[in-house]
């Protein structure tokens, strides 16, 4: 894939190429997932929502160590099908619910979730200020939001990020969360091993910005 095609698949994996992209994303995102999971501080029986779960590989890791109730939404039909296939047992046990939906209209009632998290999706939000309010709507008062991304300074030199990506630093994400009514906003950085992207070796970092709904 050329950089523009890769960017499109990272935004919304589709078809057989999307399935392969989903697998590749697992390699690139595994440290971001473990980093984010370590910050969630989940407690039974927390209700949690993930926005944009890729092929759902990491759902099992999350639920293997706690009895929380997981819900996930993604707007890629390809990824929804993959995630359902990978997590059939958890779905059968009614511990996980996976569905196709768009962030702009989350199909859950007000104040449903204790925690919401999203990894590597913020770059693609069409209306960030509206979307942050939609997330706030489904969070309980006192609930927490975790947004994990690659900081702009780390990935802006990668060619594919020039196609449809909006890149952020911690202060940008903090301002966005404040606009959505979040307080006590903090962030942490995670150093990752060197990773190869389209033949280019890069040293990556994960940034997680988190705050509490007032």
- For residues 154-173, give the mean pLDDT: 96
Output the pTM of the full model.
Answer: 0.96
Domain spans, the chain = 3-213
Tell which wins on pLDDT, 59 or 195: 59
Domain 3-213 top-level CATH class: alpha beta
Burial 132-166 (b: 16+ CB within 10 A, else e): bebbbbbbeeebbbbbbbbbbebbeebebbeeebe
Looking at the chain, the whole-number percentage of residues with pLDDT higher than 70 is: 100
31: which 2 tokens?
């440290």
Q: Walk across the sheet containing 69-74 and list its strands.
A: 96-100, 69-74, 47-51, 113-119, 139-149, 200-213, 182-197
Instruction: Give long-range contacts, CB 8 A cutoff, 24+ apart: 149-155.
Output: 149/119, 149/120, 149/122, 149/123, 149/173, 149/206, 149/207, 149/209, 150/120, 150/204, 150/205, 150/206, 150/207, 151/189, 151/205, 151/207, 154/202, 154/203, 154/204, 154/205, 155/202, 155/204
Tell me the pLDDT tens digit for each residue of 99-114: 999 999 999 999 999 9
3-state secondary structure of 12: coil
Do 50 and 74 form a contact (C-beta atoms < 8 A)? no
Identify whether 161 is preceded by a cis peptide bond (ω within 30 of 0): no
| Average confidence score pLDDT of the chain | 95
């Amino acid at each position: 894939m050329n950089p523009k095609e890769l960017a499109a698949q990272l935004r919304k994996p589709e078809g057989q190429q999307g399935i392969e992209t989903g697998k590749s994303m697992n390699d690139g995102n595994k440290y971001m997932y473990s980093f984010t999971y370590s910050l969630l501080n989940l407690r039974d029986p927390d209700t949690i929502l993930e926005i944009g779960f890729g092929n759902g590989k990491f759902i099992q890791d999350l639920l293997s160590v706690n009895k929380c109730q997981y819900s996930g939404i993604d707007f890629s039909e390809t990824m929804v099908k993959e995630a359902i296939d990978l997590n059939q047992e958890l779905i059968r046990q009614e511990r996980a619910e996976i569905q196709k939906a768009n962030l702009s209209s989350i199909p859950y009632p007000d104040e449903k979730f204790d925690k919401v998290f999203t990894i590597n999706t913020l770059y693609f939000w069409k209306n960030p200020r509206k979307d942050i309010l939609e997330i706030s709507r489904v969070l309980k008062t006192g609930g927490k939001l975790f947004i994990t991304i690659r900081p702009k300074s780390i990935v802006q030199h990668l060619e594919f990020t020039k196609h449809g990506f909006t890149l952020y630093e911690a202060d940008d994400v903090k301002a966005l969360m404040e606009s959505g009514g979040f307080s006590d906003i903090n962030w942490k950085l995670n150093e990752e091993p060197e990773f190869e992207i389209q033949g280019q070796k890069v040293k990556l970092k994960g940034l997680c910005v988190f705050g509490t709904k007032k």
